[in-house]
Amino acid sequence: MKVIEIDSELLREYAEASIHAGTEAWTHMEAEFVGNVDGLMKTLVSKEPLAYTIVPEIFPDGSVKSPISSTFKGVRECYVFVRGRSDLLNVELVNEIRGGWYDFQVGVNTGRVRGQDKITNSVTIGIFPVSKGKGITGELVWVMTPRERLGTGPAPTEPALEGFAGRRQLLTLHKQFLDGYRANDVEAVLETMNDGIQANIRNYVNDTGTLIGIESKSDYRAYLKEFFARFEVLKVDHLQRLTEDWYLFAESRFELRERSGQGREFGIHTAEFFVPAKDNRIIVQTGHGTDLP
C-alpha cells in the first residue's frame, strides 16, 4: 500500500544534491583545521565570482561592517589574515541544513590564538553555497552576538528581546520582510531594517553573479527600487527556516516576472541569515541566491 507517494527519482536527485553540498562544505572545513592557505584555496570552485564575508566587524558603537570578497586574490588575503592569527582545531555542528545548493551550519568552534596555548570556544553560523561541480562558491559567516551589542543610536524604549520571546519576534519580523516582497513594496521591506543595515545579498539587478554590499537604508532603498522596476514578485514561499534569538536562517523561493520584453516568469531561491539589533530590527542580512534562468 502506498502511503507517502512521491517520485523516487526526485528523492534520489534531491538526496544527491544535498549530500554533495554537505560534502563540499565539510571538505572545506577539514582544510580549515589544517590551516594551510593553499589547501583551503583548493576547496573552492575554479571560477570567479566568489562570495565571501568571513571577517565581519562589530564596533563599540554597535555599528557593523561586513566586507565582501569576490575574487581569488581577495579570498586568499582573507584566509592569510584569519588563519594567520588563529588555529581552528575543531567544529561541532549543532545544526545543519543541506539544501541541495548550499550547506547551512551552526557550529561550536574550538580554537586558539596563533602561538598561544589557551583553548577557546565560539559559536558561528555559516552558509556555504555550492554549484554542480567540485568546491564551494562562498563562505558567509557570522559570530554569535547578543542583540544589545548591535545597532547605533540611543537605546530603544523596548528592551532587546532574548530567549523564546526573541525567537518569536524574529520569526514575525521575517514574515513581515517576506510580505514586503510579496507586496512589491520598498518601504514595507525597509521597515524591518535597522538604520545601520548591512546587507550582503546577490545582485539580481545587474545579474553579475556577485553579492552587492548594502551599507545603509538609503543603499537598500536604491537597490529595491531597481529590483522592483526589473521584476514583479508573483509569489514568495519559505522552504527552510530556523530561528534562534540571535539569528534567523531561511531558504526562500521567489517567483518573478520580468517587467520588460516578453514578461518571462521563473523562480529563484535564496539562502540567507538575518541578525537582529537592539531595536529588534534586522541589522545584518547575508546570503546568496540561485542563477537567473
Q: Are 132 and 110 in contact (CB under 8 A)?
A: no
Residue-wise pLDDT tens digits, 89-106: 999 999 999 999 999 999
Residue 170 has pLDDT above 80, yes or no: yes
Q: Do the domain assignments include residue 3?
A: no
Mean pLDDT of 78-92: 92
Q: How many domains does the chain contain in total?
A: 2
Residues 23 and 127 in one domain: yes
Question: Do the beta carbons of residue 279 and residue 156 sit within 8 Å?
Answer: yes
Do both 115 and 26 map to the same domain?
Answer: yes
Q: What is the CA radius of gyration of the chain?
A: 19
| Burial readout 213-235 (b: 16 or more C-beta within 10 A, e: otherwise) | bbbeeeebbebbeebbeebebee
Same domain, 114 and 184: no
Domain termination residue (choose one: 110, 126, 143): 143
Q: Is residue 89 part of a domain?
A: yes
Same domain for 125 and 219?
no
Grid cell, residue 188, equals 514595507
Q: What is the pLDDT of residue 160?
A: 83
**Average confidence (pLDDT) over 166-192:** 97
For residue 204, give the CATH number of its domain: 3.10.450.50
Tens-place pLDDT, residues 206-218: 999 999 999 999 9
Q: What percent of the chain has pLDDT over 90?
A: 91
Amino acid at 246: W
Share of the chain above pLDDT 70, in %: 100
**Model confidence over 6-44: pLDDT tens digits?**
999 999 999 999 999 999 999 999 999 998 999 999 999
* Residue pLDDT, tens place only, 98-147: 999 999 999 999 999 988 999 999 999 999 999 999 999 999 999 999 99
Q: What range defines the domain where residue 222 resides?
A: 149-289
Looking at the fold, whether 164 and 218 belong to one and the same domain comes out as yes
The span from the CA of 131 to the CA of 134, in Å, is 8
| Residue 115, pLDDT score | 87
Closest CA to 189 of 165, 225, 157: 225
In which band, very low, low, confident or very high, does the pLDDT at 161 lie, cut at 50, 70 and 90?
confident
**Band of pLDDT at residue 158, cut at 50, 70 and 90:** confident
What is the CB neighbour count within 10 angstroms for residue 248? Answer: 22
Domain boundary among 143, 168, 201: 143
CA neighbor of 171 nearest in space, from 274, 284, 98 = 274
